[in-house]
Amino acid sequence: MSAPVDSLDVPEIVLDETADVLADDEPTTTFGDLGLPDAVVRKLAQNGVTVPFPIQAATIPDALAGRDILGRGRTGSGKTLSFGLPLLARLAGGTTTRKRPRGVILTPTRELAMQVSDALQPYGDVLGLKLKVVCGGTSMGNQIYALERGVDILVATPGRLRDIIGRGACSLDDVEVAVLDEADQMADLGFLPEVTELLDLVPAGGQRMLFSATLENEIDTLVKRYLVEPVSHEVDAAQGAVSTMTHHVLIVKPRDKAPITSAIAARKGGRTIIFVRTQLGADRVAEQLRESGARSDALHGGMTQGARTRTLADFKDGKINVLVATDVAARGIHVDGIDLVLNVDPAGDHKDYLHRSGRTARAGESGTVVSLALPHQRRGVFRLMEDAGVDASRHIIGRGDLFDEEITRITGARSLTELHAEAAMGAALHAEREAKRLARELERAQERAGELRSEAEQLTGRAARERGEDPQEAIAAANAAQEAAEAEREARREARRLERERQEAEREAQRPERGDRRDGDRGGFRRDDRRPGARGNDRNGFRRDDRRDGDRGGDRGGFRRDDRGGDRGGFRGGDRRDDRGGDRGGFRGGDRPGFRRDDRRDGDRGGFRRDDRPGFRRDDRGGDRRDDRGGDRGGFRGGDRGGFRRDDRRDGDRGGFRRDDHRGGSRPADDRRGDKPRWKRED
């Protein structure tokens, strides 16, 4: 077994875009020297990739030898080809059974899975290997169908792969190589339980490769559990600054944060990623930037997979040059040419800051990371920079200092006035182009009108000759008739316009002003009508005061019991109850005060008193029964009761529902004979 290859032995090299600036006294290592298949080396050369990055040069030989790999390096250092090319080379020439892939690559996000697949697919094609992405947000049916046909390598997110395995559509029993990419992010997102469940399904003895930007406690547990004598390669320290990346902190006031963000996003050239904390914040900032003239869009986990894919494609194609993203969505972004990362909201911790920063200065390119911090966030941001191991320059700026020469050099910010001037110039150019287009259309329409007029005159002359008339006279007459008809149509249009104006003027004159309605008598349902003292001569009902003026039903109008019919008797105080007995009294229209509040305040309350309810008394359930029970019993006769008056009940005889009434008279207290009807009594 060969000795582990330590990446620290590889000379530190700063590569430019072509990766060809090396020390003159050191030999140049090529992909062919690393032991990769010739077909892969030729394809790399066709894509312009000839010199491997340090982590690739250190990792590929051990990976081709079948060793377990522990790779530690910052994002953008070339890790994908470090594990992808050896994986393809080791599986080339083998046979794959349906539903049983021979290689699996686990990634934390959908975007990262798709980008890993896109990066490896060209080299898999030259080796005859099939790759398939298995992730959420896409059709599971298509993924299962591809597995049934046979897939050599799965690039998957843990959750979706576990679901497909649970359906019986996939088995990991034949997996020879398992790769775990961005393991630290999986730990941050809480995917480690699914990861361990999947790795337990991989047969023992296969090759396993794990790549992570940091090695925390949970990652160290994975390494000890699943990797056997791993070879460690650490080309870029997780907390080390990259020489081609610069870091800056701008201390701004809260009121200046939005305009400063817009000014930086409006810079010319290059791609910019803006990081915010929440999905709502991403949508809000993207909308503000679009309103200020920047070509921006949002990317976050709340979007559908199709929308996220389209947004990322637009960003890659240059249709938008500003991408506003959250941490979770942005960790899967691998786009070249991003030269500025702007942290509008500070990162949650140093690991998030490193992942954000890793979107720029990729593959040896230069990049700038700018973080906006409010005054109360200053200490936390500075501590975060220390934990991340970066040396950031600090600038305290206001709105007027934003366009200082140094700040402009760092951020490329442009004033909103300049941006608006550019937008106005663009709008003017568009308007000029539109005016020219309309002028051309008008000219063509005029030419067409002339052609049609000539054709009409020719046809008119031909028709006149057929009738034996003078063609010139017929043409002149036709032209005169046409002009007269046009004049008549114009006159009718003018008349209709004048009529509309007259009708509108009449409606305006008839429409009462708001002040007029207040000065006059508006009618019912006015609040002002209920405030004067008289309260109510204009309202016609629905007035409480109308019920206090004497007889309740005099001027109120509908819904009166007395109006239900002269001979019905039902529910009428005067007719119905007088028929029950001539001397009963109570509930008669004449005796009843009519439910007037004023009467109830003077002492004589009137009806609806609990103590005065005769209708529910056991003794009163028959019209003639009360008088037949005996002359010596006294009370409860209509003539004695009065009309539900409180004074009557207080002075002595209370009326109904008195317990003493059952015991009065000449009969003993225990004599219940008097309670029976006469026909039940026994003499």
On the 0-12 / 13-18 / 19+ scale of CB atoms within 10 A, 467 is exposed
Cα atoms found within 13 Å of the Cα of residue 494, Cβ hemisphere only: 6
Q: At what angle do helices 416-467 and 254-265 cross, to 10 degrees?
A: 50
Buried b (16+ CB within 10 A) or exposed e, 474-503: bbeebeeeeeeeeeeeeeeeeeeeeeeeee
Q: How do strand 231-234 and strand 296-299 relate by DSSP bridges?
A: unpaired
How far apart are the C-alpha atoms of 353 and 357, rounded to whole Å? Answer: 6
Residues with Cβ within 8 Å of residue 42, at least 6 apart in sequence: 126
Show the beta-strand stretches assigned E in 119-168.
131-134, 153-156
Q: Is the pTM of the predicted complex or chain greater than 0.75?
A: no
Name the 3-class secondary structure at 505: helix
H helices, E strands: number in the chain: 24, 14
**Cβ contact 271:321 at 8 Å:** yes
Question: What pLDDT shows up at residue 12?
Answer: 35
Structure tokens at 342: 């702007």
Which whole-number Å values give the CA distances from 550 to 290, 555, 597, 598, in the listed order?
73, 10, 10, 9
Q: What DSSP string describes 578-637?
A: HTT-TT--SS-TTTS--S-HHHHHTT---S--GGG--TT-GGGSSTTHHHHT-TTS----
What is the four-CA torsion angle of 27, 31, 37, 40, rounded to 10 degrees? -150
Name the 3-class secondary structure at 413: coil
Question: What pLDDT shows up at residue 245?
Answer: 86
Residues with Cβ within 8 Å of residue 610, at least 6 apart in sequence: none
Structure tokens at 314: 């637009």
Number of other residues whose CB lies within 10 A of the CB of residue 594: 15
Question: What pLDDT shows up at residue 75?
Answer: 62
Question: What pLDDT shows up at residue 469?
Answer: 86
Question: What pLDDT shows up at residue 398?
Answer: 65
> What residue type is assigned to position 410 of the chain?
I
Mean pLDDT by 10 residues, the chain (683 residues): 36 36 53 90 89 89 93 74 94 91 93 90 94 90 94 95 94 95 84 91 93 77 90 64 79 88 86 94 94 89 87 91 84 79 92 85 80 92 89 79 70 73 80 92 92 89 88 88 89 92 89 56 51 47 46 46 46 44 45 48 49 49 46 46 48 49 48 58 54
Domains detected in the chain:
7-234 (3.40.50.300), 245-419 (3.40.50.300)
